[in-house]
Structure 1
Amino acid sequence: MQTVQHILEQNQISAPLTETINTVLTASKDIALLLQKGAMGDILGCAGQENVQGETQKKLDVISNDMLKDALKACSHVAGIASEEEDLPVAANADGQFLVIYDPLDGSSNIDINVTVGTIFSILPSNGGDTAQEATYLQKGRNQLAAGYVLYGPSTLLVMTTGQGVDIFTLDPDTKEFVLTEAQSQITPTTKEFAINMSNQRFWAKPIQTYVADMLQGEEGPLGKRYNMRWVAAMVAEVHRIINRGGIFMYPWDNREPNKPGKLRLMYEGNPMSMLVEQAGGLASNGEIAILDIEPELIHQRVPVILGSKEEVNTALSYNK
């Protein structure tokens, strides 16, 4: 039985990075237990406050954020922390080597209806910077040392990369260990599935409107095949489906708030998910360049996202030409 620890040792991941990853996973196991309790754990409903993006926080948004933050601050290798739920980065240990950036509960609007949610994480080198300052965290996605997500569904899964491919682990409820269940997962290059929030169609730029309209024409259209649409409203669920059976996920720019280039956050969602997708043989773009090549300007910066099966993403991007 190969656990996360075995795989990290096999891949010769340093002890400090391994301990940092394990700290994230330990907190995630506790979050999974809380989710299993549901209404019995008094975790459902709103917390009565908004996060830095102006979104209403769910109780478990706040709880899971605090659980991860407290665990990571206690890990001596963590120099600083940035969370989607925090206004500013949080300095941790002066001698730490790593920055941990996370979305504690992606898809939290699904909590109250018992639909898939997840924790997304990204680990960067601290480079000796001032971890109380936002600038230290503003590194390109290519700098990530590790990225992954823990998906809380019928089973709790870990999907992770340390730059040596993508492995999928399942949490064994008996041993409380993440056990390898699929090594070196690869995204199929072609697909007939797409995921997009169709309610925003009228706000998209013309190229995306045309591309989606052509998909909807099926075999009779210019793309020559029948597509199925999927939408879970949680990025972890959309990306997990793509890693397992291919597809394309899009949250493109729209004109409702032109100063916000997308809904998703570059540092907390775009970069870690793009690293996973690229490591699994797919593509991830903001419509112009690879997401991992974007130079971040703000810790809560937003980004348009087009990611998934390589050939389909290239088809989508061709509509911009």
Structure 2
Amino acid sequence: MQDIIKAIEESAKKIKYLIETGDTSKSEFENSTGDTQLKLDIQSDKIIEEIFAKIPTIKAIVSEEQDEIKNINENGKYLIAYDPLDGSSLVDVNLSVGSIFGIYENEFNAKNIVASVYVVFGPRVEMVVTTSEVKMYRLLNNEFKFIQNIKLNEKGKLNAPGSTQNCWTSFHKQLIDDIFTDGYRLRYSGGMVPDLHQILLKGGGLFSYPATSDRPKGKLRQLFEVFPFALAFEKAGGQAIDGEKRVLEVHTNHIHDTTACFFGSNTEIKRVLEVYSKNV
């Protein structure tokens, strides 16, 4: 596992340089889910793939930017699903973005995720590694140094409501309104990585990306985004659900499947479950 972490560190340094110097314009291509790829997406994907190809313990990889699983080493142990540059459209307005990695064994599904890593590219570059614990590292003098363990409080103060609001169900809108009425503060940049990182570092709150009328299965991808963060939130003492059950019990039929998702500390997730159990 350590060789994979080191490979991710290497990719992060190269992507940091790419973000600082690269072309932020759109390419002529779309990814498998129909999103127009930025040139940064394609270049970040290439950086990671080339680095992972050298790691003997990696059996196969799949990127959010590609259509199929790529076999790397027949005798490898780990399968890695990754989003090379989540929120890449925020780069040209100088907001934080990130890379997300889900590390699996045997098969790409929730029950087989064994670790996850995400990297935040902002004013500082930080990497959060989840195994049995959640540990944060910061890039200092071109090396990642351990900073702290991350643990959530039982109750948080932040609310990050995602997706298109005019496509929300009435009960979800009421839930979000009630949370704000109770004094929670809005924190939403449009980037999954920085928003979830903020909730983890600030001790808790709620990030939601529900099923909506335009996206009844949610927008965020299971293997590349949802499962890696679900593992981090659970190991940090919080929860991740799809509105009814644990995210890490959600079934995957296709590598690009999506799901509704709610990440947070225990008080906020309990509140979501109470509302959704009465309305779904």
Q: 2:161·2:176 contact (CA, 8 Å) conserved in 1?
A: no
Paired amino acid for 1:144: I
CA contact (8 A) 2:162 2:210 kept: no
> Which residue of structure 1 lines up, in the alignment, with residue 4 of structure 2?
20
Q: Do residues 214 (structure 1) and 178 (structure 2) align?
A: yes
> 1:285–1:307: 8 Å Cα contact kept in structure 2?
yes
Q: Secondary structure at the match of 1:319?
A: helix
Q: 2:76 is matched with which residue?
A: 96
| Corresponding residue for residue 31 of structure 1 | 15
| Of 141, 159, 162, the match for 1:197 | 162
Amino acid at match of 1:178: F
Of 43, 48, 61, which aligns to 1:68? 48
Q: Tell me, what secondary structure is at the counterpart of 2:44?
A: helix
Which residue of the partner structure matches residue 307 of structure 1? 263
Larger Rg: 1
Q: Please say if 1:231 is aligned against 2:195.
A: no
Offset, 1:202: 2.7
**Pairing of 1:238-249 with structure 2 (within 5 A):** 238-245=195-202, 246-249=204-207
3-state SS of the aligned residue for 1:145?
Answer: strand
Report deviation, 1:95.
1.4
User: 1:273, CA displacement in angstroms?
Assistant: 0.4
- Does structure 2 conserve the Cα–Cα contact (< 8 Å) formed by 1:121 and 1:272? yes
Percent of aligned pairs sharing the same letter: 32
Q: Which residue of the partner structure matches residue 319 of structure 1?
A: 275
Could you list the runs of 5+ residues in structure 1 that have no partner in the other structure?
1-16, 128-135, 219-224
TM-superposed deviation, 1:197: 3.2
**Structure 2 counterpart of 1:167:** 135
Q: Which residue of 2 aligns with 1:153?
A: 122
The answer (yes or no) to whether the contact 1:117–1:236 under 8 Å persists in 2 is: yes
Give a deviation string over 1:206-227, Cα, whole Å, max 9, x none: 33122112224x2xxxxxx222
For residues 5 and 186 of structure 2, the distance between their equivalents in structure 1, rounded to whole angstroms, comes to: 34
Q: What are the equivalent positions in structure 2 for 1:46-195 lying under 5 Å apart?
A: 46-125=26-105, 127=106, 136-137=107-108, 139-140=109-110, 142-162=111-131, 164-172=132-140, 174=141, 176-183=142-149, 185-195=150-160
Equivalents in 1 of 2:209, 2:226: separation in Å? 11
1:50-87 CA distance string (max 9 Å, x none): 11110011111000001111111121111100110001
Deviation at 1:310?
1.1
Distance 1:257 1:277, change over 3 A: closer
Q: Is the 8 A contact 1:241 1:247 kept in 2?
A: no
User: Residue in 2 aligned with 1:14?
Assistant: none
Matching of residue 250 in structure 1 with residue 216 in structure 2: no
Residue 266 in 1 paired to residue 235 in 2? no
Give me the TM-score of the superposition, normalised by structure 2: 0.95
Distance of 1:23 and 1:192 partners within structure 2: 35
Contact 1:262 1:303 in 2 (8 A): yes
Q: Give the letter for the 1:236 counterpart.
A: V
C-alpha distance in 1 between matches for 2:65 and 2:166 = 30
Number of equivalenced pairs = 276
Question: What's the secondary structure of 2:136's corresponding residue?
Answer: strand
Give the SS at the match of 2:59: strand
Aligned match of 1:130: none
Deviations 1:23-52 (A, max 9, x none): 122111111122223xxx3x2111121111
